[in-house]
Structure 1
């Protein structure tokens, strides 16, 4: 039996910068097509050797390497994955029946293997965000049945278990030192056979996949953090799929290769509420009043974004109809008062290079904040280089891009991980009792319509604190060669290559 305990504050995030080198893909153009291998350029190099317990987990989902008990369909509903069915026994107890499936190393997927995998997630030094607001107990009833009990009612547990961070790997994936390797240990239609640090990975088709034989013989992955280089890889024919094309490059792609979709990704200015300048609510209010996200929609995002109306944008279909007016905010200060309160202090504004638009947006925000009376100094680096300083409270603000429905497809998990006092992704370092109560109320609601209403009340409470200033709701631009079919355009950015993806 494994008990999942509520974690304390911690953080894991987004990563590095690798230049594109000609010929860096394993296969060349004609050879790749004739061999049935797909060449994919991804944006964020792995931080933890593709461990599922951090942000690398999304890569395992995008490449169809690992699976959880459940998955999400196009509507965001939970559907069977390694669990063929499930039943809610009472408010806090669920039973999951496993399908017959095999790990990439040839061992069978059993209830004991599932319980062990969930236990490793709970015991991780940095716990997955999806576990930030819940305590779970997993138990093997027999070889094919897992019972999961929650300490409080969790109406969306099947959604939670679809998180990439709760993917189930074979026993040999989990090392005694806490590291986790998906190389040859997943269950999906593609098996990782080689991982070369943060540069490349080789995936081969796994013919023992329970869901049928993949159309592709394999996938050759190269990580290219620079967005222009990713676009160039697609244009030159070195890549068949290039994710996250920068908006500055999107309109330069050939007809039929640019595909954009409204995303659940929101870019925001996150303020450090615990230390420094923005521990003062009036200065947070002044920053919020100074910042205008609409100013970056055209010049920075090239129109591939919408001005933010809150934490959730148009890709979250129910958000606008349930949005609640924000009341009780602190009042912004006149410029002279901002200057007086911040005299001798510099606002440390961070942005990271992995998404090309963020440093450009930071420059616009710097101008807006300086006009309001702040003295601003930017620090623009790879995310991994600045993360320790973010955790230590050495920045006052971060220009941040966040997929709000990434972890579970349920917005409560995002709110709890990012803004609850115990949230594991609480970059704002926010501790507010009213926020915590509003998030808890939404988490306990089982009726879908009422849950959505309570989520938006929680959004209003968060915005009241000015811990976060939403800027824009992005549209994701993916570059896909015209010789490729079946690439998934996912607003949640969890899926990309599937069992049905193929080369023409």
Structure 2
């Protein structure tokens, strides 16, 4: 795949011409889509790029989730638990991959096996030892420890099933022409564009649109302008600052399970001291951020889990025994975030002032996400502002808490390793779905909050732009679906 320079990408985002073909109403019925973030990992499904493949309806999973987060059939027509450690999934018959090969239990087992050996491993498999074996028209998935959420795990876009031709000997994965969805990915131009055509051999209802023309436009003002000018039919993640400038008929605001959190480095630097972490917590006025940066289009956080999960607010109890704050007295810290989400640099500026008012000396670092993630995960900053989806992977928050806050978590920006947190997360992971699991999840949330390793500030709402010519685009709080087989232009 070819990659255009960052200069070319910036020009594309700002000028738009050359990113989209002129005109909003093409006669060929192709949907023009402006997306927030370019691919980070060559569109490998084992990374967060998987959610692009899912939102384009090109790669599919064995299981899907309904609006309530319950498991529903996908490429598997059904499943049953055959032992404490094993589940059997019946593979949907009559499905072909975009390369013409058949969906079989062996192909499913191949994808799942490769996911377990990928480096890094898909986030949904953090802490999970899993094997997959074909068994006639079914695949048997076995876990080392009893796992009540195996069906929900297999709904993660990071475990999308691709043809065997997608997987290379060097470990790279190429999703071009290897999915099963109603749209076939036919070309990717590095970090600038992607092209998908309708797949007429799809096993389900034929796609209403003839194809999708994707442009990656990190600049939020440019994405909003693309809707106003007719250069795009759909724009994801319209910045709050741009929402008021769009025709109300072209925007949708959906509460989402996404939390804007300040992660504090508990392993190195000043925030090894919990008293200083407590001082940072007390310094933050989240209501000021919601009013001033998000223009009221967000909710002040009471915990890691927000109003998109109503049971969290209903079951949460006030925390006791919080650590006492230590006066910062000029302690120098580095506060970092990324520019891909337009609000985050503004949040960083407000936080910098609030922390300085509390006595910290703050240096700010802002880069594009692709150029800052590695340093953030390596613990090179004292504090990091992250906009984080909390039920992105399985529809269940345990995967998020496990990934972000346990000793072995693969996305542990706070560098947290706390025995009580790990124990609480293990308990939640082992509890059957239902009210008891939800209570265990809230206990794990409380354990994390007591460390002050993460300070949840607000819960975001997704703002999506749709031209008035668009029919039936998905408005998905989990950001898994966007253009479906039924999405079309009038």
Q: Do these two structures clear the TM 0.5 threshold for a shared fold by scoring above it? A: yes
Matches within 5 A, 1:55-454: 55-100=48-93, 101-142=95-136, 144-334=137-327, 338-339=328-329, 342=331, 346-454=332-440
Report the alpha carbon displacement of residue 326 of structure 1 after superposing the two structures with TM: 1.9
Report the alpha carbon displacement of residue 447 of structure 1 after superposing the two structures with TM: 4.2
- The secondary structure found in structure 2 opposite 1:19 is helix
Q: How many residues align?
A: 480
Gapped regions of structure 1 (runs ≥ 5): 1-15
- Between stretches 239-248 and 149-158, larger displacement belongs to 149-158
* Contact 1:25/1:220 (8 A) holds in 2: no
Q: In the aligned structure 2, how far is the partner of 1:106 from the partner of 1:251?
A: 46
The match for 2:5 is none
The match for 1:9 is none
Report the alpha carbon displacement of residue 432 of structure 1 after superposing the two structures with TM: 0.4
Q: In the aligned structure 1, how far is the partner of 2:22 from the partner of 2:99?
A: 29
- Between stretches 33-42 and 133-142, larger displacement belongs to 133-142
* Contact 1:267/1:474 (8 A) holds in 2: yes
Report the alpha carbon displacement of residue 33 of structure 1 after superposing the two structures with TM: 3.1
Q: In the aligned structure 2, how far is the partner of 1:435 from the partner of 1:324?
A: 17
Alignment match of 2:473 (pick from 475, 480, 487): 487
Give the TM-score taking structure 1 as reference length.
0.93
Q: In the aligned structure 2, how far is the partner of 1:132 from the partner of 1:328?
A: 30
- The secondary structure found in structure 2 opposite 1:66 is coil
Give the TM-score taking structure 2 as reference length.
0.96
Report the alpha carbon displacement of residue 387 of structure 1 after superposing the two structures with TM: 2.2
Cα deviations across residues 151-199 of structure 1 (Å, max 9, x unaligned)? 1111111111000100011111111111111100011100111100000
Report the alpha carbon displacement of residue 23 of structure 1 after superposing the two structures with TM: 3.1
The match for 1:474 is 460
Q: In the aligned structure 2, how far is the partner of 1:398 from the partner of 1:482?
A: 38
* Contact 1:25/1:39 (8 A) holds in 2: no
Gapped regions of structure 2 (runs ≥ 5): 1-8
Q: In the aligned structure 1, how far is the partner of 2:268 from the partner of 2:229?
A: 47
Report the alpha carbon displacement of residue 26 of structure 1 after superposing the two structures with TM: 5.2
Cα deviations across residues 377-432 of structure 1 (Å, max 9, x unaligned)? 00011112122322332200111000101011011111111111111111111100
The match for 1:12 is none
Q: In the aligned structure 2, how far is the partner of 1:207 from the partner of 1:454?
A: 46
- The secondary structure found in structure 1 opposite 2:292 is coil
Cα deviations across residues 20-78 of structure 1 (Å, max 9, x unaligned)? 43333454325x53101000000000011211011101101111010111011122111
Structure 1 residue runs of 4+, over 6 Å off?
none
Alignment match of 2:47 (pick from 50, 54, 64): 54
Q: In the aligned structure 1, how far is the partner of 2:86 from the partner of 2:109?
A: 15
Report the alpha carbon displacement of residue 89 of structure 1 after superposing the two structures with TM: 1.1
Q: In the aligned structure 1, how far is the partner of 2:468 from the partner of 2:194?
A: 23
Q: In the aligned structure 2, how far is the partner of 1:28 from the partner of 1:72?
A: 37
Q: In the aligned structure 1, how far is the partner of 2:408 from the partner of 2:21?
A: 46
* Contact 1:488/1:495 (8 A) holds in 2: yes
Cα deviations across residues 308-355 of structure 1 (Å, max 9, x unaligned)? 111111111211111132233321123xxx116x3xxx2110010000
* Contact 1:296/1:361 (8 A) holds in 2: yes
- The secondary structure found in structure 2 opposite 1:339 is coil
* Contact 1:263/1:315 (8 A) holds in 2: yes
* Contact 2:404/2:410 (8 A) holds in 1: yes
The match for 1:19 is 13
* Contact 1:133/1:413 (8 A) holds in 2: no
Q: In the aligned structure 2, how far is the partner of 1:485 from the partner of 1:418?
A: 37
Q: In the aligned structure 1, how far is the partner of 2:367 from the partner of 2:60?
A: 32
* Contact 2:333/2:383 (8 A) holds in 1: yes
